[in-house]
A and B are shown apart, each in its own frame.
Chain A
Amino acid sequence: MHPAFSVIFLTTLLGAGQGLFLAMFTGQLYALARFLPAQEDQFYALGSLVALVLLVIGLGASFFHLGRPERAWRSAAMWRTSWLSREVIILPILMALVFAYSVAHLMHWTQPWFHIGEVLGVDATLLLGLLGTIASFALFVSTAMIYASVKFLEEWHSTFTVVNFTLLGLASGFMLAAAYSAYIGNPLVSFFGTWAVVLTLGALLSRVAHLRRNARLKHKSTVQTAIGVRHTAVVQKAQGAMGGSFNTREFFHGRTPETVRLVRNSFLVLVFPIPILLISGAYLIESTTLPILAFLIQYLGLIAERWYFFAEAKHPQNLYYQSIS
């Protein structure tokens, strides 16, 4: 498949935004359980505003993928069958919830509405955070299922796609939460950093397992089933066009195998070991710049990861476009 940067930015920015929002709410929950010191409302409000900005930029990037962006509103219609439609519905819901969560903290709407048991006071931020958490995970699933549900792209048609999108999004979001805490000098940097390392390690396991699965993948379709001629030697001699077509532009990345391997090795280094080392180093020397660097490098790696995700997938239609003449 041809990796489109609009979709690469869409999926990575949404992932980081969802992860950052979940990190903020996790921080609030830990504080509620008195595992962590309670933070100023402004901490959660600003953090979730940054998450909202990422979601908005991601949504903006997605419009560059559309041929007719002015008709994008139509894409919510087929939510019964299309994961793309479901994503289009869940994303604005999440944005509204993140915005409301941020506003609730900013306006100090933290008076409990009712109590569960003796200690747990349920206020607006807690409810909005819970709803936002549900929406975030629903969005992770919807975004990933857009790819995982296409059975023809066998590299994507796997649970690993959903697990990777979720874990990588969470890891980058918690990494960003650590960077944000470091930037404003908040001591929660080690809390978010620890979670970021745990999630990055989880994502490493799942991503490497996905790579191993795809390396052993045996594609269902062959040129024999494509044209229905039973012979071991079937070679294309003409594809009906000399100057390429949509089929050659959309379904081929057009890079050498060496480039693709280089991108894969780059993301394996940039997403996993380097951010983990940087964030550990930040913990040891109490640096405020290393967590920021860790997030930026991991995000750069995620762009490479998503590029490789697209480039790796081989579409069966390519069997009809093997040779120009």
Chain B
Amino acid sequence: MTQLALVIDLNVCVGCHACVTSCKEWNTSGWAGPMVDQNPYDGSPTGTFFNRVQTFEVGVFPNTETVHFPKSCLHCEEPPCVPVCPTGASHKRADNGIVLVDYDKCIGCKYCSWACPYGARELDEQEKVMKKCTLCIDRITDATLSDRDRQPACVLACPTSARLYGDVHDPDSEVSVAIRERGGYQLMPEWGTKPANHYLPRQKNRMYISPDELTRVDNPLRKEDLTTYTGEETLDDVAW
């Protein structure tokens, strides 16, 4: 079975929000739209987003590190939001494992959002239905697009390639290899939701140098110059 998902590389995410804006741009005018904003130019702008980039600070000053953390629906393999839906609007597609909301069936009871530990679902204030990341289902299933374009908008927009997209059930896919070889992990594994999306941890390239490595043990100058000088003329005193 196919399980499409994203793998997000926290090592290279720079927190530019390009995935956020491209997601909103694509989806607000597409099948899942509109994603309505309230007070977009006023004091408290708010609106529906499928994807948000959050920022966390790890450590205590001066030893701190900034982690930019893109968060969207993780398309869980055991999605807790699906069985609680009273209408069947919330569902997981059998063919590719994407969790979707049928906007024509949703009654806006918000129960699914209570049953999502990640806060991935947002009720649209104008449409009054629950909305969430669709993994750009209308792009990736559109056979008229080229292979390069048949990817979620956020993946195409990422300038640092921090977002990988593919089938996490195919062991040889780019995403599976990345998870396997680069320590991909799931969010809140304690709930058993088995998120399909994975995150790649930050990795640092460190060089460890011990003091003895700073001195060349077999330095030829030190090896050859064994003379003990007692004031006599040395080679340094020679006028050239």
Among A65, A66, A75, A320, point to the contact of B119 (Cβ < 8 A): A320
| A320 contacts B106, C-beta separation under 8 Å | no
| A251 contacts B119, C-beta separation under 8 Å | yes
| B86 contacts A235, C-beta separation under 8 Å | no
Contacts of B106 in A (CB 8 A): 67-68, 71
Which of A167-175, A177-185, A242-250, A281-289 is the interface stretch?
A242-250
| B113 contacts A246, C-beta separation under 8 Å | yes
A235 to B69, CA, bound (A): 12
Whole-angstrom distance between the Cβ of B65 and the nearest chain A Cβ: 8
Contacts of A88 in B (CB 8 A): 86
A95 to B172, CA, bound (A): 57
In residues 77-108 of chain A, which contact B (Cβ within 8 Å)?
77-78, 81-85, 88
| A226 contacts B86, C-beta separation under 8 Å | no
In residues 230-287 of chain A, which contact B (Cβ within 8 Å)?
231, 233-247, 250-251
| A233 contacts B59, C-beta separation under 8 Å | yes
Contacts of B20 in A (CB 8 A): 240
A239 to B191, CA, bound (A): 22
In residues 26-84 of chain B, which contact A (Cβ within 8 Å)?
39, 43-49, 52-60, 66-67, 69, 71, 80, 82-84
Give the residue name and chain of the A residue nearest to B202 (CB): A229
Total interface residues in chain B, CB < 8 Å: 63
| A150 contacts B86, C-beta separation under 8 Å | no
Contact count band on A: 35 or more
Question: Knowing A150-B114, A234-B58, A245-B46 touch, does A81 contact B84 (C-beta < 8 A)?
Answer: yes
- The 0/1 profile, CB within 8 Å of A marked 1, for residues 1-39 of chain B is 000000000000000010010000000000000000001
In residues 83-113 of chain B, which contact A (Cβ within 8 Å)?
83-89, 105-111, 113
Contacts of A221 in B (CB 8 A): 117, 188, 190-191
A260 to B12, CA, bound (A): 42
Among A228, A234, A235, A238, point to the contact of B185 (Cβ < 8 A): A228
A152 within 8 A of B: yes
Among A67, A149, A235, A241, point to the contact of B56 (Cβ < 8 A): A235
| B49 contacts A81, C-beta separation under 8 Å | no
A72 to B87, CA, bound (A): 9
Whole-angstrom distance between the Cβ of B116 and the nearest chain A Cβ: 7
Whole-angstrom distance between the Cβ of A323 and the nearest chain B Cβ: 9
Contacts of A239 in B (CB 8 A): 52, 54
B166 within 8 A of A: no
Contacts of B46 in A (CB 8 A): 241, 243-245
| B117 contacts A77, C-beta separation under 8 Å | no
| B115 contacts A150, C-beta separation under 8 Å | yes
Whole-angstrom distance between the Cβ of B157 and the nearest chain A Cβ: 15
| A67 contacts B114, C-beta separation under 8 Å | no
| A233 contacts B123, C-beta separation under 8 Å | no
B129 within 8 A of A: yes
Whole-angstrom distance between the Cβ of A296 and the nearest chain B Cβ: 30
| B69 contacts A227, C-beta separation under 8 Å | yes
Most chain A beta carbons < 10 A, residue from B44, B83, B107? B107
- The 0/1 profile, CB within 8 Å of B marked 1, for residues 132-153 of chain A is 0000000000000010011111
| A246 contacts B48, C-beta separation under 8 Å | yes
Whole-angstrom distance between the Cβ of A60 and the nearest chain B Cβ: 15
List 10 A–B pairs whose Cβ atoms lie within 8 Å, in order of A's numbering. A67-B128, A71-B106, A74-B87, A150-B84, A151-B80, A152-B115, A228-B185, A231-B59, A246-B121, A246-B122
Closest 7 CB pairs of A and B: A67-B108, A67-B128, A317-B119, A240-B52, A243-B44, A81-B83, A75-B86
12 more CB-based (< 8 A) A-B contacts, given A74-B87, A75-B107, A150-B84: A71-B107, A88-B86, A221-B191, A227-B69, A233-B58, A233-B60, A234-B57, A236-B54, A237-B57, A240-B54, A241-B46, A320-B118
